[in-house]
């Protein structure tokens, strides 16, 4: 039988500390991206966006040419996503 590595109180204390650090303002934005033509493009865009601090999730639709980013607005903003996408070689329409 496998037992938990940490006593319950210790785990609860750790979660408490994490929760206290800072309140997150999670937001989602959809960007229209031009120039994506295959799965490689999708992977590239996901990689550059996921590398940005504050980005929580990325979803790319090749068919619709849309990139959805879920992020902490207290930590990062849309300008950083546009820069990253453009640096990777694509155009952001809005």
Tell me which residues touch Cu ion (CB under 5 A): 37-38, 40-41
* Min CB(41)–Cu ion separation in Å: 3
Q: Which is nearer to Cu ion, 38 or 51 (CB)?
A: 38
* Min CB(58)–Cu ion separation in Å: 16
Taking a C-beta distance cutoff of 8 angstroms, is the pair 30, 92 a contact? no
Q: Which is nearer to Cu ion, 44 or 75 (CB)?
A: 44
Cβ contacts of 36 within 8 Å, gap of 6 or more? 42, 45, 60, 62, 65, 90
Is residue 68 classed exposed, middle or buried when 0-12, 13-18 and 19+ CB atoms within 10 A define those classes? Answer: middle
* Min CB(80)–Cu ion separation in Å: 22
Q: Which is nearer to Cu ion, 33 or 69 (CB)?
A: 33
């Amino acid at each position: 039988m496998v037992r938990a590595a940490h006593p319950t109180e210790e785990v609860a204390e750790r979660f408490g500390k994490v929760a206290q650090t800072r309140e997150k303002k999670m937001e989602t934005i959809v960007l229209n991206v031009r120039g994506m033509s295959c799965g490689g493009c999708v992977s590239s865009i996901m990689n550059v966006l996921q590398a940005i601090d504050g980005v929580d999730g990325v979803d790319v639709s090749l068919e619709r040419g849309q990139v959805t980013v879920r992020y902490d607005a207290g930590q990062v903003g849309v300008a950083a996503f546009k820069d990253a996408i453009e640096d990777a070689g694509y155009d952001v329409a809005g």
